Amino acid sequence: MCEGQGKSPWQKGVELPSFLPLAGDKTVDVLIIGGGMAGVLTAYCLHQSGVDYALVEQDRVGSGVTGRTTAKLTAQHGLIYHRLLKMGGEATARAYWQANTDALERYVTLCADMDCDYQVTDHTVYSLDNGRLIEDELTALERIGCPAKCPRELSLPFEVAGAVTFPRQAQFHPLRFLAGILPGLHIYEHTRVRQLEGTTAVTDRGRIRAGRVIVATHFPFINKHGSYFLKLHQHRSYVLALEGATLPPGMYVDDDTAGLSFRTWGDRLLLGGGGHRTGQPGGNWAELRAFARQHYPDATETAAWATQDCVSLDGMPYVGQYSATTPRLYVATGFNKWGMTGSMAAATLLCELITGRHSPYAGLFSPSRSMLRPRLLVNGYHAIKSLVTPTTPRCPHLGCALTWNAAEHSWDCPCHGSRFDETGRRLNNPATGDLPIKKQGAE
């Protein structure tokens, strides 16, 4: 097992309910593909609404990114609100805040009688060197009526230019939460969808005929609709669990995507950072370990793991109809590192769309919204550069040249984020199969 696939604390000592593979053909009203938090919460919402559904997962439920999250539950997703205000006005910024606040409240209800380490705590976004960004964010939050605070000092081992705090957010144990809502759901594990023919899913053991299909596979695997290969890129993040470190009150994250993240779990500090666009160089665990040696010299490392997030063009997820031309195909993706709260908002919206109820957030998260954002040019640049690079191996997804990730001993795609280990085994999608090599290493 490569270092990048090391287990997180959530994946140790938790036994989730197991589900049998699908054997033979099946017909359902709604098929959900993907058993991460977004897919499972959507199944739970449909189950509560009495909808005929099934969820299929190619491995085990919760075995992907959900088991590697830092598990923060918050409506504060970086310093996003001044950007949303500029991009879409007060209505857009307020709707995004309300959608995620509603999602947080649903977690409060579900976790009330559940043993999932649910803890109410503040969440703070800081900037190391740009106090103006903090001022802009506070102004935006005041305009939309969000009750944020501006702390003068933070309990972190460095100075900051400014910070914004959302009070009464939360953190939890994601797999214990899943263990609490999984019983009774209609799930089939070890059931890979090889392809979709309309709304019929072809698996290794049969066909699933569905009235509607929801793709919740982290990165959407259907390329001929929706242009997700242009609308998304993936980002690697790294985490250390430290025992014996000074524990700050609350949760913290740098607005810079390459900055640090902090939260506690019991007597351990979860230190995140070292991030980079998948397929590009970055600080990884080496950066985190250097920081820990300097600021927590007496701490002991008890776990090290990495995760991967899909990043949209404008900072908001794509949730809803897969594309304008696929009325019976839906998607949930692009949670931009905030997949726990985003998954709940997505599940609620998808359930409302499926059951014909009105949602005030359908337009906000629509996958068909404008693509004219600066990140589109960046994504296009990386794709073109990789496609014309005359090296092997090539990604089986769309043929981009893979790069060697020395820290994680993996082949990574800088176009769309697929990853493979040294023997070619697929680690991350959107590639749907393994890399056809016996064994490769860095040259």
**Residue pLDDT tens, the chain, 443 long:** 333 458 899 998 898 999 999 999 999 999 999 999 999 999 999 999 999 999 999 999 999 999 999 999 999 999 999 999 999 999 999 999 999 999 999 999 999 999 999 999 999 999 999 999 999 999 999 999 999 999 989 999 999 999 999 999 999 999 999 999 999 999 999 999 999 999 999 999 999 999 999 999 999 999 889 999 999 999 999 999 999 999 999 999 999 988 999 999 999 999 999 999 999 999 999 999 999 999 999 999 999 999 999 999 999 999 999 999 999 999 999 999 999 999 999 999 999 999 999 999 999 999 999 998 989 998 888 888 888 888 889 999 989 999 999 999 999 999 999 999 999 999 999 998 899 875 444 44
Q: What is the largest CA-CA distance in the chain?
A: 61
| Residue range(s) of every CATH 2.102.10.10 domain in the chain | 374-428
Which CATH architecture does the domain made up of 117-169+232-309 adopt? Answer: 2-Layer Sandwich (3.30)
Which CATH architecture does the domain made up of 374-428 adopt? Answer: 3-layer Sandwich (2.102)
3-class SS of residue 386: helix
| Residue range(s) of every CATH 3.30.9.10 domain in the chain | 117-169+232-309
The structure tokens 């085990």 sit at 60
Alpha helices in 296-373 (DSSP H): 339-354
The pair of three-digit structure tokens given for residue 82, joined into one six-digit string: 């001044």
> What is the arrangement of strands in the sheet containing 300-311, beginning at the earlier edge strand?
72-73, 162-171, 119-127, 251-254, 261-265, 268-277, 233-243, 300-311
**CA separation (Å) from 130 to 123, 140, 250?**
19, 16, 22
User: Model's pTM, two decimal places?
Assistant: 0.94
The structure tokens 């009105």 sit at 358
* CATH 3.30.390.50 for the 3-70+176-230+315-354 domain, yes or no: no
DSSP codes joined into one string, 57-79: -SS-TT-SGGGGS--EE-S--SS
Torsion of CA 253, 217, 319, 166, to 10 degrees: -20
128: part of which helix (H) or strand (E)?
A: none
Q: Which residues pair with 28 in a beta bridge?
A: 210
| Residue range(s) of every CATH 3.50.50.60 domain in the chain | 3-70+176-230+315-354
DSSP codes joined into one string, 189-232: -S--EEEEETTEEEESS-EEEEEEEEE-SSS----SSTTHHHH-
The one-letter code for the residue type at 290 is A
3-class SS of residue 298: coil
